[in-house]
C-alpha cells in the first residue's frame, strides 16, 4: 500500500496538477500558433518573397519513380529522399513566434509576482552602544 499512497500524494500535489493544465493549454496554444503561422504569416512572407507556399519548397535528392507526382507529400509516400527546407522554415518561424509569446507571458507573470522590496530593519541602539559612542566622541575631541 505504501507505493500507491506515495503515488496518490505525488499526483495530487499542486505542481503536478499545474503541470497537467499547462501541458493541455500548451497543446491547444500550439495549434493556435500553427494556424497563425501557416494561415496568416507564411502566406504574407511567401507573397513578399515571391513563393506562395513554403511547404512546396524542397530539393529532390533521389530518383523519382515513373508516375509519381512531384509534390512533397507524393514524393515522401513514394520513399524519395527530399530536402524539405520550406517545411523547416515554417516550423522555425512557428517556434520563434511561440518562444516569443511564452517569453512575454513569463515576463508578465514575473512582473505580477514581484513583491514590494522589504525595508531593512532599523538598527536597534542599546545603552551600551551609546556609551561606546560617547567614549569614541570624547577620545576624538582630545
How confident is the model at residue 54, as a pLDDT?
A: 72
Residue 62 lies in a domain: no
Residue 69 lies in a domain: no
Q: Which residue has the cell 515571391?
A: 50
Q: Which domain holds residue 129?
A: 2-52+84-141
How confident is the model at residue 51, as a pLDDT?
A: 61
Residue 22 lies in a domain: yes
Alpha-carbon distance of 99 to 106, in angstroms, equals 10
Burial of 73 (0-12, 13-18, 19+ CB in 10 A): exposed
- Helices 14-35 and 85-113 pack at an angle, to 10 degrees, of 140
CATH number of the structural domain spanning residue 94: 1.10.1200
Q: How many domains does the chain have?
A: 1
pLDDT digits (tens, 9 = 90+) for 22-77: 888 888 888 888 888 778 877 787 778 776 567 778 888 888 888 888 888 888 88
Residue 137 lies in a domain: yes
Burial of 82 (0-12, 13-18, 19+ CB in 10 A): middle
Residue 71 lies in a domain: no
pLDDT digits (tens, 9 = 90+) for 7-21: 777 777 767 777 777
pLDDT digits (tens, 9 = 90+) for 102-129: 788 888 888 887 776 777 777 788 888 8
Residue 58 lies in a domain: no
Amino acid at each position: 500500500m505504501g507505493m500507491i499512497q506515495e503515488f496518490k500524494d505525488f499526483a495530487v500535489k499542486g505542481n503536478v496538477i499545474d503541470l497537467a493544465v499547462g501541458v493541455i493549454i500548451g497543446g491547444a496554444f500550439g495549434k493556435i500558433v500553427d494556424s497563425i503561422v501557416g494561415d496568416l504569416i507564411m502566406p504574407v512572407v511567401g507573397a513578399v518573397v515571391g513563393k506562395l507556399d513554403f511547404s512546396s519548397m524542397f530539393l529532390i535528392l533521389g530518383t523519382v519513380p515513373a508516375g509519381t507526382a512531384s509534390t512533397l507529400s507524393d514524393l515522401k509516400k513514394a520513399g524519395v529522399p527530399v530536402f524539405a527546407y520550406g517545411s523547416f522554415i515554417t516550423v522555425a518561424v512557428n517556434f520563434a513566434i511561440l518562444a516569443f509569446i511564452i517569453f512575454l507571458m513569463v515576463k508578465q507573470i514575473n512582473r505580477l509576482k514581484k513583491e514590494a522590496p522589504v525595508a531593512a530593519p532599523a538598527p536597534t541602539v542599546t545603552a551600551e552602544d551609546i556609551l561606546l559612542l560617547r567614549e569614541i566622541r570624547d577620545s576624538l575631541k582630545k
